[in-house]
Structure 1
Amino acid sequence: MNSAEIKKFQKDQLDEINRYRAIHQAPPLVLDEKLTEYSQKWANHLAKTGKLAHQPDQKYGENVAAGSPWKSLNPAKLWYSEAPKANYSNLESSMNCLHFTQLVWWNSKKLGLGVAVSASGMGFVVANFDPPGNVRGQFGANVSPPKK
């Protein structure tokens, strides 16, 4: 995986995430360099350990994904696939779709996206959102149903 492939992957994922956000009336995210560096460090750690996990002491909203081969990974689509599980009348209780709600969280403005490949060829993707989403008491104001 070279830097050109990583840049293309990041751009493609940002574009897809922003398409999903538009469906839910959320403003587009911008790819942030510092947040991407932060995400990349954790993606490198995941690739080294070969285990998918969230960072401890999380200060951002974080989604993670893994798969092989890495070029076939589409984490935005995977996270958005949770959308049908969302109960818009009571999003606080929709704990099985938190990747989706973070993806379309209205108040999130910046995205960091890291990708790394393990020695076995498994790809690991880490997305960090700032400000973080999935804040108790704020779901209704930040997650809208899809436009009709």
Structure 2
Amino acid sequence: MSCFGCSPQYPSVKQFTSEGLILHNTIRRKHNVPPLKFAKDLVQHAQEWAEYLVKTNQDTPEVQHLRRKNIGQNITVKDSYENYAVDYSGYGHFSQMVWKDTKEMGMGKAIGNDRTVIVASYRPAGNGLTKFTDNVKEPNDKVLIFKYFKM
């Protein structure tokens, strides 16, 4: 598998979440927005949801998002992030990664049923249509985003 975190080279949750935070903040820096910080409760939230999705054998695009007040979410199954490139406007959840007003995140990963599920939870949630222009900034260079996800 070639998605971020799908590789067995991440033996610990701590290493996986640390790399995930670095990835997010690298991309956020390119969009001129402040870095995220980890929140332990969001890590727990994301981990529990990833385990549930593996257990219930859900698959994209039907994968179910957990609805919690003021928490945004991104979920990937296997290698769906491989296709991020210069024109990522078609990926609605990408905006959550670079949403300026989002301050905290947590990540979880579960493996089973021949799949790897990665969940990222964010607080406060982003992707509000009326606030998009204020929160999603143009990148300061046109990099290929997918290079960050290949392992």
Quickly name the TM-score band, shorter chain normalised.
0.7 to 0.9
Q: Secondary structure at the match of 1:97?
A: coil
**Letter of the structure 2 residue corresponding to residue 61 of structure 1:** G
Residue 124 (structure 1) aligned with residue 117 (structure 2): yes
Q: CA deviation at 1:26?
A: 1.1
1:1-148 matched pairs, under 5 angstroms: 5-52=12-59, 53-59=63-69, 60-67=71-78, 78=81, 81=84, 84-86=87-89, 96-118=90-112, 120-148=113-141
- Judging by fraction of residues, say which structure has more helix: 1
Looking at structure 1, the residues matched to 72 and 83 of structure 2 have their Cα atoms a distance apart, in angstroms, of 15
1:100-132 per-position Cα deviation (integer Å, ceiling 9, x unaligned): 1111000000001111111x3411111011000
**Letter of the structure 2 residue corresponding to residue 116 of structure 1:** A
CA RMSD after TM alignment:
2.3
Q: CA deviation at 1:20?
A: 0.2
| TM-score (norm: length of structure 1) | 0.77
Looking at structure 1, the residues matched to 110 and 127 of structure 2 have their Cα atoms a distance apart, in angstroms, of 26
Q: Secondary structure at the match of 1:28?
A: coil
Matched residues, percent identical? Answer: 29
Q: In structure 2, do the counterparts of structure 1 residues 132 and 83 end up closer, same or farther at CA, with 3 Å as the change threshold?
A: farther
| TM-score (norm: length of structure 2) | 0.76
Q: In structure 2, do the counterparts of structure 1 residues 35 and 23 end up closer, same or farther at CA, with 3 Å as the change threshold?
A: same
Looking at structure 1, the residues matched to 27 and 99 of structure 2 have their Cα atoms a distance apart, in angstroms, of 11
**Superposed structure 1 runs of 4+ greater than 2 Å apart:** 54-59
Structure 1, unpaired ranges of 5+: 68-72, 87-95
Q: In structure 2, do the counterparts of structure 1 residues 100 and 115 end up closer, same or farther at CA, with 3 Å as the change threshold?
A: same
- The answer on whether the counterparts of 1:114 and 1:127 sit within 8 Å (CA) in structure 2 is yes
